[in-house]
Each structure stands twice: as C-alpha cells, then as structure tokens.
Structure 1
Amino acid sequence: MTIDCTIMAGFGDHSGYNRPFGLDPNRETNDLYDTRYQQIYGYHTPITEEFQGPPLVMDENPDEDNNAYITTAISVASLLTENLLSHPFIVLRRQCQVHNNLRNYHIVPYTLLPVVVRLHRRQDVTTLWKGIGSTCIVRGLNLAVEDAVAKGTGWPKEVNKCNSVLQFVQHIALKSLSLALITPFYSASLVETVQSDIASDKPALFDVFREGFVRILEWGTPSKGRMLPIWAIVLPTVALGVSKYISHITLRSLTARILRFQQRHRHELSDSYNYSKNVQNPLIEDINLKANIFSFITMEILFYPVETIIHRLHIQGTRTIIDNLDTGTSVTPILTGYEGFMDCYNTTIAREGISGLYKGFGALVLQLVAHISIIKLTTIVVTEITNLLKPVKSPTNSDDHTQQKYLFN
C-alpha cells in the first residue's frame, strides 16, 4: 500500500499505522473525525494544516430515527385516545357525577362492569357513544375561538411563545375568554352525553349550536324552572378550566425537567455520553410526551371533585333524564335546586359525604387504564415494526470501504 507522505506527516509517532481509504489531502478534518478515529483505532491523531475543506459529518444513528417514529406514533395514539376512545368512560363518569341520588357511587371500577353489561343488553352498542359528535364540535369550536381571539388581539396562543410575564398573562386571558365563550355550548354538549337514549329523542348533529345560543339568549332569566343563568355558570367553569390548565403546564414543565436531569445523569455514568443537540431531539420529544401524559393523568384525578360540582350546575333545570346506573335497566330524572357553586358543594357534602364528590371515579380509573394500555400497545407494535424494517448493520471492520462508510458521510 502506498500512502502519500503529506498524509503520513500528520500521524506523528504512529506513521506505521494506516488510516482508512478515502482521505482527500485538500479536505479538512475536525474534532468529530479525530474522536471517531480514536474510538476505533485506539490512539489520538493530531490534525495538521494539510487538510483543508468542509467538515466531516457522521452518519445518523438509525436508533434515533426509530425513537422518533415511536414518539410520533405514541403522540397520535394519545391524541386519538383522549378525544375519541375515552368517550364511553366520559359518558359513564358524567352520568354518575350528575346523579345526586345515586346509591352506588362506583368509586371502584369493578362495580361499573355489570351495569355496563345490562345497559348494552337493554339498549344498543352506541349507548356509551352518545354525544360524541357534539363533544368533538365543542373541542373544535374551542380551538377556533382561541385562534380568532389570538389573531384579533395579538395575544400568544401557545404558552411556549410567551417571553415575558405580560405575554403569559395575555395567554391566560385568551384561554379564559375562549372558555367563557364556549361555556353555553359545553353545557348543551354535556346534556347530550348524559341523557338516556330510551327516554329522550336523539339530538341532531348541530343541535348543540341551537341549544347553546338559547342559553346565551337566556343570559339572565332562563325560561326553564330551576335552570341557572349562564352567567352564574361561566365563572366557575372558567375558573376550573384555567386552574386545571395552569396546574397542567406547571406540572408538565417540572416533570420534564426531572426526567431530563435523570436522563443526563444516566448518560454521564455511561461511556457513550454524547450530548449532541441533533441526537438528543428525539429523546427530548419522548421526555416531553411522558411529562404531558403524567400531568394529564394527575390533573384529571386532582380536579375530579370540582368537575362534579360544575357538571351538576350545568345540568340543573334542563329536565334531563339519565340512565340509572344503580341498576342499568331503568332511567331517572335529575331534580336539583342548587343556588350556586358553594351551595352545591355544601349540599353534596351534607347529603352524600365527601365520597359524593367522587361519584363515578371508577370510570375515570378505567379511562386512564385504557389510555395507558393503548400507549403501551402502540409502543410495542411500532417498536417491533421498526425493528423488522431496520436494515442489517454491516461489520465496521470487514473491509476498508466499510470503515470509510462508517467514518464519513
């Protein structure tokens, strides 16, 4: 093998060793090349001024691509589960929450299973999917209102775009205004999700708009019995939504920092520690996803009692007939006379006890278990698929061309 002396001059005392083929004397090497050469051949290679040219770039790690695919799949699965697949459990928990005379509180999941079986036997398979259309409409309406308010006021729509305290306050004001505007439509959607199919006419897809506008027009004096005016419901609804949102982003940020610290510490203890920004992007996305899921689950549990009170205020006076979840074979009307948030809270504590605020908590447990199970299943399936499709790696020391491909792009 013949090697140019100008190339060998950069090897110092190790001139007896051969570098891989493919070096261009007019090409500049960098610290990345020197590090990889030292890892493979076991010694340091001083870089001379002979090599001038563009910096060398390492091949991308296919494992990082696999992690990116898995993270994307988990994000999609989590989004679908939260907005669609969780709806039957939401129907169950809301029916339990608004039923003030429910004898079996269903705080544990297994008490709900026989009731669900009887519901399906007496009704059809869609009994737990009622109100899915209006629920999706209200969520889409919320996004549309936020976008319109953000464009009209210039307030930041996303919290990660807040660079000052003033912008964060504007962001929270945007969230509050959006929640206030969609509260009447949320109230109409809530009625559709809890009313019994066998005792009420099935609503049309866009009835949620009609009922929502009726609640707006009856802002001060509702025409139906003990129905609370919408202004009396807007404030507690907005307070719940904003408190839940602020707690969510705070816990998510704290959890992400803890996970990043643990990951950095784990890498520092290993020999393969390389905190490259490009390499760490999929890892950061995975950490943010885990933090978001953990924060979502925590907030659902923490604010469950407040949600029970809010839902009872929304449903009062609407003459709604729901399925009786004590038996699963009958229906019952909702007849309450709360004067406001604190009156509802005090009455619930006095008549039903503290556990009355957790009616239907077993449905939430089932929802969260299903959510986590789907994410786990998605992770396993996507991991197996990416492993099957991943190309077989060639040995790095099989020949000079393989070494060249491993070291250079």
Structure 2
Amino acid sequence: MAGLDRYPGYFADSPTGPDPFLTRETTGTKLRPTHLNIPSVHSVAEMTDDGNPDEEAFIRKHVGTSVGVASLITENLLSHPFVVLRRQCQVHNNARKSHLFAITLVPVVVKLHQRQGLTTLWKGLGSTLLIRGMSLAVEDLISKITPWPKEITWHRPLKSLGQHILLKCVTLTIMTPFYSASLVETVQSDIASEKPGVFDVFKDGLCRLVSWGSPNKGRMLPVWALVVPTVVYGLIKYLLSVVVQNVASRAIHIRNRNNQIKRGAVQKDIYNHANEDIEMTSAFIGIVTADVICYPLETILHRLHLQGTRTIVDNLDSGSSVIPILTNYRGAVDCYESTISQEGVSGLYKGFGALTLQFFAHWALIKLTKIIVTEISMLLRPSPKAKTVEPEIETQAVLSTTPSRYPVDYLNSPAYSSYPNVTP
C-alpha cells in the first residue's frame, strides 16, 4: 500500500499478547478492607477507661459477690456481740450508765471477757439465727397459700402494697412468742443461768403461744399485749428501711448521672441496670436510718418482752457483776412514761454506743473486703488476648495496584524504538 513502506517495523514488531493499556501490575501486596486498621463501632462502644472491658467485668463480678457475702455474714454473725451489748443495756432500767458512746463500752467488754471468757458476747446466736430462718419460712409459706405478694415494687397497685403489708403483719404476729424466747437467751448472763439447748427457743415460744391470754408467771405480759407493739415496731422499721433505701439509691444514681453529664459521657441504662455497689450502699443507709429512728421503740419493746421472765443479766455498769430485771409495766404507753419520768430521754437510748460500734464495724469490714478482693482479682485476672498485628501498607504496594498505561519494559521494547522521531 502506497505510503506505508517507510514504516515497516511499526506493525511488524509490535508486541503480541494482552493489550498493555488493560494490563495491571499484580506484584506486591493487594489492598483489602481488612488491612485497614479501622476499629468497629461495636468495639469502640464497649471500650472502658482502661481499654480492657474483660478485666473490669472480671474484677467487678468478684468484688460484687464477695462484698455481698461479707455483708450477709456481718449482718447475721459478726454483729451479734454488739446486739448482745445493746439489748443488755436496753433492758437494764436501773443502770447508772447509759453507754450512749462506744468508748464507754470498751472497759466493760474487757472485764466481761476476763470474767466470763470470749464466748460471753456470743450467747443466743443459735436462737437468733433460728428465729430469722423461721421468720423467712413462715413468710414464704403464707405467701404461697395466699395471694399476698412476698416482694413488692413501687410500680405495683395499692392493693398489692396493702396485701404485702398484711403479710408482714401476720408473720410478725406469729413470730412474737418465739422472739420473746430468743430475747431471753440473748441477754441472760452465762454465770447466773443455765445454758439453753438448741431447740429450747421453740419450746419456750410454744409455751408462751399456748398461754396466749393467761401467762403462768405473775408479771409476765400476755402474748396478745405484746403483739401490737411488736407488729408496729417491725412494720415501721421495715417501711423506713425500704423507703430510705429507694430514696438513697435514686439520689446516688442522680449524682452519678450529673457527674457523667459534666464529663460528657452519659450511660443510657443508668436507671435500668443498677450497680451492685450503689444498691449495697443504699441498703446499708436504709438499715442504719431505720435502726436509729426506731431505737426508742426497740428499747420499750425489749423491756415489755423481758418482763416477768426472771432473767438475770450482766451489770454493764461495772462488767463484773449480775443483776435481775424486775419491772412492772402495764403496757407500751406505761413503759414509755415510766422510762421518761425515771431515766429521762437518755433512758430510751441506752446502749446506743453499741449500735454505732456495730455499724462502724459493718462498714469497715465491707470496705476491707472490697480492697482485698480487688487486689486479689487484679492478680488473678485473665491474661489479655494476643492481638493480631496487620502488616503495614507500603506506598509501593499501593502504587503497584494502580493501573499503568504501559508495561514496565515497554519503553525499551523494539516497538517503541521503531517509532519515528518526531521533532517539532
């Protein structure tokens, strides 16, 4: 063809194979989405302040369980010596010392231990635990044979709340004679009385229950006269503890929410999933408040229950002698008036120092347990999982994945050298 003989090598020497303009260089590392180190939304949302949610959950689980067990043991076992001291002070109407402060009880406790041994403040522990277990069993049995709910929330209707209160009243009524028998075993002196048997509390309670209206002993009040003050005291104390616990829990949640708002990180489930530490603190506040407010009622109630039982208690004025309890109250009102007229207002708060000492020991033990368990959990926490380190994406690998107009060796190929030199 005319005019084409000057370019013999243009078409003859052109490379064969794939079109160089559609060829990509595939050597090197390919860029994939998994190579990009972008954290997922789920992992970011679950990250804690220390960056390891598993460790924090592990520690929180063990601390919450251990503190709950420690609080239960303290409330039922370790607080019993303080309960014994408090009750012995309350029933001693002729005592010269009121023991309103805990410091005055220290020398008395030392003398009691020197004279009667270390077990003198643990008397009546078995009967106390039996009465608590029996109370729970009676309440559970009544709730199963009646429509009365054993547990209640503030969102339930008033009818359910009334039925729940009625359940508490019936349980307290049934437990009144057994509570009297347990109180006697708690306050009587070991050196002046025979040690009771394990099940004597049930025998004495049944005897008082049978003689409902006509007790065998002269000054002993009938059970029906003890039912009303016992139910009133138990119900007021229960309602106070529940109300104060809920108010304290709500206040702590609001304070935590305000602190989170200031930091700019608010949890959405702050009112739905209460923290165990908050619930434990609010329950402790409720118990302390109820015991302090109801302390005068408890003093009157214990004196009424002990009247006519011929009980001999330790004299906590000196700690080295015993004294009988001889009273002649006609009822709760007469006991209150006699106490105010003969002993003053401080007579209603005798032994209050033992209560403060009890709650201080309770709080200190919970704090100590929390510290110890936290340290142990930090030592026993699971080792962190090995993280997969992704290879870094080099610039050369990124550039090698971009399409190239020509192959690498095309400029040195015979086809390129056969192009005519075009000069302007």
The normalised TM-score by structure 1 is: 0.83
Structure with higher RCO (Cα < 8 A, 6+ apart): 2
Find the counterpart in structure 1 of residue 375 from structure 2. 384
Find the counterpart in structure 2 of residue 47 from structure 1. none
Find the counterpart in structure 2 of residue 318 from structure 1. 309
Among residues 316, 325, 329, which one is paired with 2:320 in the alignment? 329
Superposition map of 1:241-280 within 5 A: 241-275=234-268
2:312/2:324 contact within 8 Å kept: yes
Give the deviation of 1:382 after TM superposition: 0.6
Distance change in 2, residues 1:284/1:297 (3 Å): same
Q: Distance in 2 between matches of 1:318 and 1:221?
A: 14
- 1:126 equivalent to 2:143? Answer no
Give the deviation of 1:192 after TM superposition: 0.3
Among residues 27, 36, 40, which one is paired with 1:19 in the alignment? 36
1:122/1:329 contact within 8 Å kept: yes
Q: Distance in 1 between matches of 2:390 and 2:337?
A: 80
2:76/2:129 contact within 8 Å kept: yes
> What is the SS of the residue equivalent to 1:160?
coil
Deviates more, 1:65-74 or 1:285-294: 65-74
Amino acid at match of 1:2: K
Q: Distance in 2 between matches of 1:158 and 1:32?
A: 37
Among residues 169, 179, 195, which one is paired with 1:202 in the alignment? 195
Give the deviation of 1:395 after TM superposition: 9.2
Distance change in 2, residues 1:131/1:400 (3 Å): same
Distance change in 2, residues 1:291/1:302 (3 Å): same
> What is the SS of the residue equivalent to 1:91?
helix
Among residues 99, 105, 109, which one is paired with 1:106 in the alignment? 99
Q: Distance in 1 between matches of 2:52 and 2:260?
A: 21
For each residue in 1:353-377, what CA deviation from the matched residue of structure 2 results, as whole angstroms up to 9, or x when unmatched?
0000000111111111110110011
Superposition map of 1:323-362 within 5 A: 323-362=314-353
Q: Distance in 2 between matches of 1:138 and 1:331?
A: 27
Find the counterpart in structure 2 of residue 220 from structure 1. 213
Amino acid at match of 1:323: D
Distance change in 2, residues 1:117/1:35 (3 Å): closer
Q: Distance in 2 between matches of 1:36 and 1:335?
A: 67
Q: Distance in 2 between matches of 1:82 and 1:220?
A: 34
The structure where helix makes up a greater share of residues is: 1
Listed as ranges, the gaps of 5+ residues in structure 2 are: 1-28, 392-424
Among residues 357, 361, 364, which one is paired with 2:355 in the alignment? 364
Give the deviation of 1:277 after TM superposition: 7.3
Find the counterpart in structure 2 of residue 49 from structure 1. none
**Number of paired residues?**
361
Q: Distance in 2 between matches of 1:150 and 1:36?
A: 42
Q: Distance in 1 between matches of 2:210 and 2:150?
A: 29
Give the deviation of 1:399 after TM superposition: 2.1
1:162/1:168 contact within 8 Å kept: no
Find the counterpart in structure 2 of residue 13 from structure 1. none
- 1:306 equivalent to 2:297? Answer yes
Find the counterpart in structure 2 of residue 178 from structure 1. 171
Superposition map of 1:86-165 within 5 A: 86-160=79-153, 163-165=156-158
- 1:294 equivalent to 2:285? Answer yes
Listed as ranges, the gaps of 5+ residues in structure 1 are: 9-17, 24-28, 38-57, 402-409
| Structure with bigger gyration radius | 2
Among residues 19, 30, 33, which one is paired with 1:2 in the alignment? 30
Among residues 365, 371, 382, which one is paired with 1:374 in the alignment? 365
Q: Distance in 2 between matches of 1:76 and 1:117?
A: 30
Among residues 36, 42, 57, which one is paired with 1:32 in the alignment? 42
- 1:400 equivalent to 2:390? Answer yes
Q: Distance in 2 between matches of 1:90 and 1:203?
A: 18
Give the deviation of 1:125 after TM superposition: 1.3
Amino acid at match of 2:285: F
Find the counterpart in structure 2 of residue 26 from structure 1. none
2:46/2:53 contact within 8 Å kept: no
Amino acid at match of 2:36: R
1:102/1:326 contact within 8 Å kept: yes
Amino acid at match of 1:348: T
> What is the SS of the residue equivalent to 1:400?
coil
Give the deviation of 1:400 after TM superposition: 2.8
2:55/2:382 contact within 8 Å kept: no
For each residue in 1:201-221, what CA deviation from the matched residue of structure 2 results, as whole angstroms up to 9, or x when unmatched?
110010000100111111111
Amino acid at match of 1:358: Y
2:257/2:270 contact within 8 Å kept: no
Distance change in 2, residues 1:65/1:169 (3 Å): farther
2:127/2:182 contact within 8 Å kept: yes
Distance change in 2, residues 1:265/1:124 (3 Å): same
Give the deviation of 1:287 after TM superposition: 1.0
Give the deviation of 1:326 after TM superposition: 0.8
1:184/1:213 contact within 8 Å kept: yes
Q: Distance in 2 between matches of 1:145 and 1:295?
A: 24
Give the deviation of 1:274 after TM superposition: 4.2
Identity of aligned residues (%): 49
> What is the SS of the residue equivalent to 1:348?
helix
For each residue in 1:234-257, what CA deviation from the matched residue of structure 2 results, as whole angstroms up to 9, or x when unmatched?
111011111111111111111111
Find the counterpart in structure 2 of residue 193 from structure 1. 186
> What is the SS of the residue equivalent to 1:323?
strand
